[in-house]
Chain A
């Protein structure tokens, strides 16, 4: 690869991806590029909040928040100052099914950046004082969200959709649960989750394969080989047909809706992507945008999207409209979903949706961090780099019958689980 190669060219993205397997057995995907003197690394470890003990929701979130709060020779302040000295960006997060990490550095500081990442992963102190501080920050966030309509709608939706399942519990915990989270809990969870098994890494930027291989071994090599994950049972989104209303004294009602979705391994998945795009994708041409916003002025934001938790694919969507029109807005959304399930798209809609999805794929690859993030997600989903070149062909191959079949599969009878927060009229 030449020094000024594009980060990812249009002709073949896959051919720019180098698969690295280190002597220590760490696998990573690398896109080598020297156009900007930066290195970006993203990684993901399977096992997020769904691994929290049932009585300790918020534990994975707290753990992720503590990895950069003191490690190795540094206390929390020393660690943050060491990062600042070299203008390094480092951060960790937890979602339902994974713990993720992000590192970005000026290329001249690459060695030091990897050394700090290693300390955070292997030698974070999880000291009592730091646990107390980060826990208090989490508590403040939870209090801020206690009467925040979007957060309340998400909670009502989650609890109705996943009764008795880890997905029904709050990723960040609740005010009473987080008070009980202690250092031994965190140490135990770290031992279960931080391991080389199911570790996915992508690196983009000014670093060659040999150097990266060495850094990966020194950074991740000392992690345990095996993780210890609790089985998370598959679940189908429940409560379809129900409408949960949470009363809050605000002028505008937040509406969240959803129904079971389709997994990425389903042969109709790409047709499902096209169908969702036509209904509620992120362009000004989607049916929900046209019907709810443009024609009727009922909402600023209205959309639907495909979400896939490891054990539950789903369709979710949201809108917000003044209380007086909340019932009317929900009926318009329900009618659009039902009509699409019955009639499918028009030829023109199908054609335009495919063109958008194909053409806009390149927009996901225009910065180092976006590319690294895409490459980690592909690995998590079990794909090979060749997916990068094959994906648009799969969209192009979606025909009218495929899309109609996918619409029936995705939208079914049009029934939705709905959660509303506000003082909605007409529900």
Chain B
């Protein structure tokens, strides 16, 4: 193996926001010569370290006809390498008192361990080995495919509400791969094989496509040295792999998707809007959408909850959520559970009424202030958990944002005005850009 000496730029320290509570001031960020990005998040409170490697590819990068391959490969990454046969890495992590796992999303795949800080170097050596030297045989691939099929049955095929979610996503994205479930379609998972996994591995599992995040009681210089000695030895592949994704055409038609099943006793309503992400939005727009979603449906003081649940009693539960971390245009969810004897059509009209309030009426400044207080405080609460911080930074970097973007997020949230929220509601909460989903008992049809 050729050795590439890494000569990174000086540790980058994003500017502090001026608040002593701002931990981002101490975050270090380097790039190795082979393209691997490294982020170090200090947490001196505990002798534990969180070690994560994020690859900038997820289910939305699955080739046509191979849905589920990103997730299947994530499972197969635990099957051993040329240097360390199956089980050796997991055995060692357990023996050292560590915990490990991995997860796949639409835009990224990540592997992590939490362990005593003295074992960081060992983990880095093994994780770097797995970036370059995966070894797969049909004997391990075949039963693991069965495991994934069981995972799909557990999460989706046993559960009508998960099946509705799947259908709603598929309807929302007419062309973009976010419409395909992360775990893949059953009939395609059944055909995935060793070659598919290795082709995908060779395309995406490269240092240029990866971000290493280390959070814990560690010095940035030590992490950098260890990164050079482990990940730094993996040769660069010249160019980072490209995500080749189809683009979503303009949306002009509201769509209603309904699922009736004899197992459903509690009906449910959801509506999903196609909206820009932190990556695709105009400056300030994603922050306005985050605030809008919180005011609309973030907890018991939100407009949907206070209006539909407390006052009008159309619903027993209601909320909203903005999935801002995404490489491409993303979703804002609105959901509600009807009160007994309220039809989903009635509930749907009541939800329209609440949304119309944001479009037509002036924003309640007190409500806006409360929402921003809560959202900005989340950044301080996150500092209590090195694992949460590691995940926050990893997700941001894997979806095309920068360390600076994360560090300045509280300030940008503070800057959101009532006019911004109104503008976001008018522009993006347009039913023609949305899919409504009805979950119904067997004898009822929408």
* CB-CB under 8 A for A249 and B263, given A84-B370, A320-B153, A363-B114: yes
Closest to B145 in A: A297
Report whether B316 and A136 are in contact in the complex, using a CB–CB cutoff of 8 Å: yes
A146 and B20 CA atoms in complex are apart in Å by: 49
* CB-CB under 8 A for A7 and B46, given A84-B370, A251-B153, A368-B384: yes
* CB-CB under 8 A for A359 and B147, given A87-B377, A322-B153: no
A331 CB within 8 Å of chain B: no
B91 CB within 8 Å of chain A: yes
B266 CB within 8 Å of chain A: yes
A87 and B100 CA atoms in complex are apart in Å by: 32
Report whether A352 and B95 are in contact in the complex, using a CB–CB cutoff of 8 Å: yes
A384 and B147 CA atoms in complex are apart in Å by: 43
A367 CB within 8 Å of chain B: yes
- Partner of A355 from the list B96, B100, B317, B340 (CB cut-off 8 Å) is B96
A356 CB within 8 Å of chain B: yes
| B residues less than 8 Å from A320 (CB atoms) | 150, 153-154, 158
State how many residues of chain A have any CB contact under 8 Å with chain B: 71
| A residues less than 8 Å from B265 (CB atoms) | 143-144, 146-147
| A residues less than 8 Å from B148 (CB atoms) | 300
Report whether A149 and B98 are in contact in the complex, using a CB–CB cutoff of 8 Å: no
B387 CB within 8 Å of chain A: yes
A363 and B98 CA atoms in complex are apart in Å by: 8
A296 and B139 CA atoms in complex are apart in Å by: 11
Fill in one digit per residue for A342-369: 1 if any B CB lies within 8 Å of its CB, else 0.
Answer: 0000000000100111111111011111
Complex interface residues of chain B between 264 and 304 (CB less than 8 A to chain A): 264-266, 299-301
| B residues less than 8 Å from A136 (CB atoms) | 316, 339-340
Report whether B116 and A133 are in contact in the complex, using a CB–CB cutoff of 8 Å: no
Report whether B266 and A140 are in contact in the complex, using a CB–CB cutoff of 8 Å: yes
- Partner of B147 from the list A250, A252, A297, A363 (CB cut-off 8 Å) is A297
Report whether A359 and B97 are in contact in the complex, using a CB–CB cutoff of 8 Å: yes
| B residues less than 8 Å from A6 (CB atoms) | 44-47
- Partner of A37 from the list B21, B45, B317 (CB cut-off 8 Å) is B21
A219 and B102 CA atoms in complex are apart in Å by: 42
| B residues less than 8 Å from A33 (CB atoms) | 45
A3 CB within 8 Å of chain B: no
A44 CB within 8 Å of chain B: no
Closest to A364 in B: B48
* CB-CB under 8 A for A362 and B94, given A38-B381, A77-B301, A250-B158: no
Report whether A36 and B384 are in contact in the complex, using a CB–CB cutoff of 8 Å: yes
| B residues less than 8 Å from A106 (CB atoms) | 377, 380
Shortest distance in angstroms between B157's beta carbon and chain A's nearest beta carbon?
5
A15 CB within 8 Å of chain B: no
B219 CB within 8 Å of chain A: no
Report whether B143 and A296 are in contact in the complex, using a CB–CB cutoff of 8 Å: yes
Complex interface residues of chain A between 279 and 322 (CB less than 8 A to chain B): 282-285, 293-301, 320-322
Report whether B301 and A81 are in contact in the complex, using a CB–CB cutoff of 8 Å: yes
B144 CB within 8 Å of chain A: yes
A237 CB within 8 Å of chain B: no
Closest to A356 in B: B94
Fill in one digit per residue for B296-327: 1 if any A CB lies within 8 Å of its CB, else 0.
Answer: 00011100001001100100110000000000
A10 CB within 8 Å of chain B: yes
A385 and B316 CA atoms in complex are apart in Å by: 43
| B residues less than 8 Å from A81 (CB atoms) | 301, 370
Report whether A298 and B150 are in contact in the complex, using a CB–CB cutoff of 8 Å: yes
A296 and B150 CA atoms in complex are apart in Å by: 12
* CB-CB under 8 A for A297 and B159, given A37-B380, A81-B370, A285-B90: no
A293 and B147 CA atoms in complex are apart in Å by: 7
A104 CB within 8 Å of chain B: yes
Report whether A299 and B97 are in contact in the complex, using a CB–CB cutoff of 8 Å: no
Shortest distance in angstroms between A294's beta carbon and chain B's nearest beta carbon?
7
Report whether B150 and A362 are in contact in the complex, using a CB–CB cutoff of 8 Å: no
| B residues less than 8 Å from A232 (CB atoms) | none
Shortest distance in angstroms between A248's beta carbon and chain B's nearest beta carbon?
7
Report whether B150 and A85 are in contact in the complex, using a CB–CB cutoff of 8 Å: no
* CB-CB under 8 A for A365 and B90, given A140-B337, A297-B146, A299-B150: no
Complex interface residues of chain A between 72 and 121 (CB less than 8 A to chain B): 76-77, 80-81, 84-87, 89, 104, 106
Fill in one digit per residue for B215-256: 1 if any A CB lies within 8 Å of its CB, else 0.
Answer: 000000000000000000000000000000000000000000
* CB-CB under 8 A for A248 and B263, given A297-B146, A320-B154, A365-B46: yes
Report whether A366 and B97 are in contact in the complex, using a CB–CB cutoff of 8 Å: no
Q: List 8 A-B contacts (CB under 8 A).
A: A37-B21, A136-B316, A140-B266, A140-B317, A248-B263, A299-B147, A300-B151, A362-B48
Q: List residues of A whose CB falls within 8 A of some B CB.
A: 4, 6-10, 33, 35-38, 40, 76-77, 80-81, 84-87, 89, 104, 106, 133, 136-137, 139-140, 143-144, 146-149, 248-252, 254, 282-285, 293-301, 320-322, 352, 355-363, 365-369
A-B contacts besides A84-B299, A86-B373, A300-B151, 20 pairs, CB < 8 Å: A8-B46, A10-B116, A37-B20, A77-B306, A84-B373, A89-B381, A136-B316, A146-B265, A251-B153, A283-B94, A285-B90, A320-B153, A357-B97, A359-B97, A359-B116, A362-B97, A363-B99, A363-B115, A367-B385, A369-B384
Shortest beta-carbon contacts, A-B, top 3? A359-B97, A297-B146, A297-B143
Q: List residues of B whose CB falls within 8 A of some A CB.
A: 20-21, 44-48, 78, 87, 90-91, 93-100, 114-116, 142-151, 153-154, 157-159, 161, 262-266, 299-301, 306, 309-310, 313, 316-317, 337, 339-340, 370-371, 373-374, 376-378, 380-381, 383-387
